[in-house]
Homo-oligomer: A and B are copies of this chain.
Amino acid sequence: MSTRIPGPSSAMRKRPRQARSRATVAAVVQAGAQLLGEKGWAGFTTNEVAEVAGVSIGSLYQYFPNKLALVDAIRQRHFDEVLAVLDRAADGGTPAEALVDGMIAVHSANAALHRVLLDLPDPDGSGAAYRAFQAEYLRRYEAVVAALDGGRDGIVAQVLSSAVEGVIHNAARRGVLQSPEVRRELTRLVLGYLGRGA
């Protein structure tokens, strides 16, 4: 089993045209996201995904040529969600607080999945999508950096984003993601790094 690395794979085998097909694909991706978060990469099996999705394993492979393609779809969907949440959150209050709240919101939904998705083997299989997300993700951070601390280069955004992720993943692992203290300290961390006190 395990890490057989097939060709480019990635893409979906068929584009679902009818409503039923779209529902099948959605159910599979949804079940896949849930299971990938719950069980991690090891322990993530296509057979169980199909079962939880309520479709046959044959149907799963009708739309996804292999396991990696399914994971790619899950990643894509998750990244879209992350950016959407970030967008929505960016409209409220001050930049730092909006960022922190947005990140907490994103991870509250599915912190485990997010972490798993970052550590995935062969993130080069879907390199393009992955890099596109990373770029977009950093762009948001850079906006925050620029707003608070003009004239810094990209490295600040990178350091900031990974620091925030580190804190949030750890808090999620400890089950204290909703704690007001974490939110407060994380905001302090961002503001302390970027310039002026709260």
Q: Is A61 an interface residue (CB 8 A)?
A: no
Interface residues on A, range: 35 or more
Q: How many copies does the complex hold?
A: 4
- Contact call B189/A198, Cβ cutoff below 8 A: no
Is A18 on the interface with B (CB-CB < 8 A)? Answer: no
Where chain A touches its partner, the secondary structure class is helix
Within 8 A of B (CB), among A1-44: 1-3, 39-43
Q: Please name 17 further chain A to chain B contacts, defined as beta carbons within 8 Å, in addition to the given A43-B121, A115-B119, A163-B166, sorted by A numbering.
A: A1-B1, A2-B42, A2-B43, A2-B45, A3-B43, A40-B41, A40-B119, A41-B42, A116-B119, A155-B182, A159-B189, A162-B167, A162-B169, A163-B163, A189-B192, A192-B195, A192-B198
